Structure 1
Amino acid sequence: MKTILLIEDNDLIRENTAELLELAGYTVLTAENGKIGVEQALATRPNLVICDIMMPVLDGYGVLHIFNQNPQLAGVPFIFLTAKTERADLRRGMELGADDYLTKPFDSNELLSAVAGRLSRFQHLRPDYDLAEGGLGEFLADARRVSNLASLATDRKPHQVPRRQFIYTEGDEPLRLYFVQAGRVKTSKTTAAGKELITGLYQADEFFGYQALLERLPYHDSAVAVEDSTLLYIPAEEFTDLLLRNADVSQQFIRLLAGRERQREQQLVEMAYHSLRRRIADALLQLHQPGGPPIQLAREDLAAVVGTAPESLSRTLSEFRQDGLIELTSGTIRVLQPERLRRSNW
């Protein structure tokens, strides 16, 4: 049974609304002002909050601000009750992350429809998505249903980017979010000694370039197509507005960024402690798509992912080929026996 926290200073409205929600099968917690409401939420995390805006002690804006800042409460769907319909009030609430509005007086159908809509919308997003296990694709599929995130990449002109063409370079101002429709893109940094370090590889159905947008800082790396690719461009202001209006999507992007950081930390650990043979095997397994096309990645790019010289990479690939684990052709690598490749390097 879903728990709803109702914060409303008008006794009659609070009692009637709570009764209606209970008749609809919800568990209802009530509070007569924002301060008590926050205390109730900290004691019992609700599945949804219905909150009046104009209240004594702590108003609705203050309640939503606390919810957004508190990790225990962040991401809870939030519906404002208001008798005010001025655009400035609506805009302020949306910027703070409100998910819906009900203007008083409202009827029972409006209330129950809004509650059911918010609860069904938010239940599709899981608490966590593991990027290493295809979590980004799963998140995009879920976000398409709950927040129309993927719709940003719909009905836009595709841009054909040939192999080795730069998409942006380190120090550029971020102007857009990128979506890979087809192909593969790498992001990388170049050291003072001229050595390239690949910071990310992105393929079909993945976004990239969002970290600089979130940080509001210039790109800290460069992006280049490692094969002929098709990209969709999403203006920065649309992406930012979406995150401001949808707290659930914002929270999930934060989790995805945390997942990326975990991947990078793991990559550093592997480069420091794992054998070269294992690092190359792990990279091939990460790029391998069961039943899909062979890996098309230049030897120098794969060497940069692993953190070794191209000559060392070539020697190890030859060993894998001799063991019957992979097939090498001009410009491609096909993993023939992924399980043997995984087991042979522990």
Structure 2
Amino acid sequence: MRKNTLWTLFGILIVSLVWLTPFASASEFNFGVYTVIPDNQIDKQKSYFDLKMEPNQKQTLTIQLKNDTEEDVVIEPIIHSATTNINGVVEYGPTSAERDSSLPYELGDLIQTEKEITIPAKGSKDLQLNVTMPEEAFDGILAGGITLEEKKAASKNTEETTKGVSIENKYAYVVGIILQETDETVKQDLQLHDVKAGQVNARNVINATLQNPTATYLNRFEVDAKVTKKGKTEVLYKSEKQDMQMAPNSNFEYPISLNGEKFKSGTYTLHVKAKSSKESWEFEKDFTIKGEEVKQFNATDVSIEGPNYLAYLVGLLILLVAGLLLFIFYSKKKQKKQQEIN
């Protein structure tokens, strides 16, 4: 075995709002992370775990944690299967995404570790990951990671917490974990599921759920999506995106933006062309946008311009002034005629 410093690990910056004084500076990592690479590592140049294992095999992995500060540091490890986010990027840490129906095993069920570990001040501590592979053999890979985040103590000064808002920076290491048993190549597949109206960041979109039901990555993943009225050829909305990646046995909602337009009820057709570095796919699927969805989403889309009441008011004032001037003009003209008659 050898110890490999995690220079290639990325720290996830999680920004959270807390009620403190209005001044705050970004904190740094209070601990270091080192993986102990085992003999069954497929690529020993990698600093994450990329392991070849056997059915029902048990193995203990070690991550060394180092603390150079003057105080104890408490770490909360979380193990999670890889998912794909809305941007077509693979996430190895905890997310709100539900488990995909095609995922045979959740990584957190196969790997057990401590819920909390304390690294002593100016010291180090080994974190043990106990892996138990499934009894049944499988082709492909199981992908995920372990998130190592420092547990912060709650603020004791409750009076000061109401004086202002500051930004507290929390950092976490994510160590990737990939498990496989065979070298068999898994044929890639892609499926289109639900297509429906929705919103992203309070803006109207049409969400198309794309699923990778296979135990392999879809690399260099591209999507070309168009929306038409059912039975028509005119493209109403479209979206193209390249250089994405899908995690094994995962899904995500691919958004097609309406670019500030309002939803209109009716039946539409989604046309999708997608490809990875090895395969390509085409789909067509009809979907319906209902009246209640139109009302709900159009009312909350921040990019849709509402009625310009100021313009209406200015127009009304112009009409009133014009009407008043006409009234004065004809009144004076009528008065002049009466004076001429008299």
TM normalised by structure 2 equals 0.24
Higher helix share: 1
Higher strand share: 2
Higher Cα Rg: structure 1 or 2? 2
TM normalised by structure 1 equals 0.24
Greater relative contact order: 1 or 2 (C-alpha under 8 angstroms, separation 6 or more)? Answer: 2
